[in-house]
Structure 1
Amino acid sequence: MYAGAAVAVGLFPVATPSGVAWLRCLGAAVVLLAWRRPGRAAWRGRNLLLATAFGVVTAGMNVLFYEAIARLPLGTVVAIEFAGPVLVAAFGSRTKRDIFALLLATAGVVCIADVQLSGSALGVFFALAAAAAWAGYIVLGKRVALGASVGSGIDSLAIGFGMATVLLSPLAMGTGEVWASPRLLLLGIGVGVLSTVVPYGLDQVVLRRVGRARFALLLALLPVTAGVLGFFLLAQVPTLPEALGTLAVVAGVAMRSRDDPESTQGAA
């Protein structure tokens, strides 16, 4: 996912962040639809509505994420955005361990946000908005994974990105120079494969087998991965507060209890 994000940053000089996000959506839609070829029934009624909502929320999350990483370091944005999974994991919990985990993760996010407010308050805003969208992605993704009566969750993912590509097509106005270069267009499609087709496809496989809280726990690996890639691919060295804030977010999610009754009830 974040290898794709690193490639996306390289497209920012020739396209707007929102335009790059739309290219990612387009590339994912083309690849997924060509691969899955969902049947007619998957394009009707509740299946279509759920897939469309899922696709638009997910694509919106990507747009917000790219607007954020255009203004803040990759690892910092991911740590702030991670507040979404933290809230999903902690929502409804009443144990002291879960409450402490939420407080610890929140403290980490606040620490990172304070460091960056002097640099780009707008970047922090986009990252927090992406966090809310990420929470929506997990909730809707679980419903898609368990509730797809036709085909699989990956079929719904394909339809969702197809619909999102159409609905968000005004963002294509920010991609002008890309269409004049086959190399840049290929990179845009590559971002869709790296950052969407592979990770979100795997998410659907995992979400069908575990509950939302357990899924959020597994996502604790992402900020660490993003920070490492940001360092090696983008030469973005985290400050001490940023590093400590990232560790606090990861620790908060990792401390979350593993009790997850929804994993056996979600299909009801």
Structure 2
Amino acid sequence: MTTRNRIPVPPWGLAVAAMISVQLSSAFSVNLISEVGPAGTAWLRLSLGAIIFLAIARPPLRSVRRHDVPTLLGLGIATGLMTIMFLAAIERIPLGTTVAIEFLGPLTVAAVRSRNRRALAWPVLALVGVILLTEPWHGQIDVLGVLFATIAAAGWGAYILLTQRIGDRFTGIGALSLTVPVAAVTAAIVGIPQAAGHLSLGILVAALGVALLMPVLPFILELMALRRMTSTAFGTLMSLEPAFGVLLGLIVLHQQPSIVQFIGIALVVFAGAASQRGGARNPPPLAEPITTAPAPDAVPADRPIRDA
């Protein structure tokens, strides 16, 4: 009996579970941020995530070529900066708003790379949704929080482009055991000074928990989902993530959005789902055989692996 036949959960259920895990990690990170700061939280989460990936996946060092190094380093650095900026944003503005702003990054990448010029309307529609979420006409907008989230959005866009290159070269999760440690080192530059003097066993246990929730568990769930559904369907489903950010912000952090903000998040979700139309990509063949994982375990190159 194959593993596929032993899984009673439908693929969409696995994808939804992955999204919930991501947003739970973000919501629970708020308590850590109050103890060790956003950079300290990013450093702990990425470092523990790196240790876990190194334990479960052998780094494909023999398969790395010189021209792969800048991309691997760039991806790790982008991941580290994106994580720090995202956590810095949720320290200042609601989780759902941060996720929606960050979502503009991959949405813009998808629109720009689309062959249909009308696809550029979707980031604009999502931007309208973000404006409704931030409600700047009330004069209470946290400019710094929005700036951090915008930088995280740019980082996510760069992350997608770089991950796609890595996805064309490597299969399985081996590449994560290379890039996540780089992300951890990047976060350590600011994170260690910020967390110094505040570490305790309780904080380390909490950091391990959020690291398991993101990136370890979501990647495993997404990998299982991608084996049983198309990447376009998966991408459309993942467009619900900003809505989950609002939901978990409400349940865990008691961040109550207004009716106008609910409309804003609906526009972001609709724009994300619509942008997936015609978004399929035919990945090029791997340049050479890579044996870090069996072929069925590979994530399609047109669906970038979610990182820490």
Task: With the length of structure 1 as denominator, give the TM-score of the two structures.
Answer: 0.86
Q: Look up the match of 1:118.
A: 140
User: Quick one: structure 1 residues 40 and 98, their matched pair in 2 at CA, closer, same or farther if it must change by over 3 Å?
Assistant: closer
Q: Look up the match of 1:139.
A: 161
Q: Look up the match of 2:99.
A: 78
Deviates more, 1:236-245 or 1:91-100: 91-100
Aligned length: 262
Deviates more, 1:79-88 or 1:100-109: 100-109
More helix by percentage: 1
1:56 to 2:77 alignment: yes
Q: Look up the match of 2:275.
A: 256
1:10 to 2:31 alignment: yes
Q: Look up the match of 1:232.
A: 251
- The within-5 A match list for 1:89-104 is 89-93=110-114, 95=116, 98-104=119-125
User: Quick one: structure 1 residues 215 and 37, their matched pair in 2 at CA, closer, same or farther if it must change by over 3 Å?
Assistant: same
Structure 2: runs of 5 or more not aligned: 1-21, 287-308
Q: Look up the match of 2:261.
A: 242
Q: Look up the match of 1:174.
A: 194
User: Quick one: structure 1 residues 44 and 146, their matched pair in 2 at CA, closer, same or farther if it must change by over 3 Å?
Assistant: closer
Give the Å deviation of 1:79.
0.9
**1: distance between equivalents of 2:48 and 2:139?**
33
Give the Å deviation of 1:217.
3.2
Deviates more, 1:24-33 or 1:83-92: 83-92
Deviates more, 1:54-63 or 1:93-102: 93-102
Task: With the length of structure 2 as denominator, give the TM-score of the two structures.
Answer: 0.76
Q: What is the root-mean-square deviation of aligned Cα atoms in Å? A: 2.6
Give the secondary-structure state (helix, strand or coil) at the position aligned to 2:151: helix
**1: distance between equivalents of 2:226 and 2:63?**
20
Structure 1: runs of 5 or more not aligned: none
1:23 to 2:57 alignment: no
**1: distance between equivalents of 2:66 and 2:219?**
23
Say whether the 8 Å CA contact 1:42–1:48 is kept in structure 2.
no
Give the secondary-structure state (helix, strand or coil) at the position aligned to 2:177: helix
1:130 to 2:152 alignment: yes
**1: distance between equivalents of 2:209 and 2:38?**
16
1:161 to 2:180 alignment: yes
**1: distance between equivalents of 2:157 and 2:58?**
28
Deviates more, 1:191-200 or 1:64-73: 191-200
Calculate percent identity across the aligned residue pairs.
Answer: 32
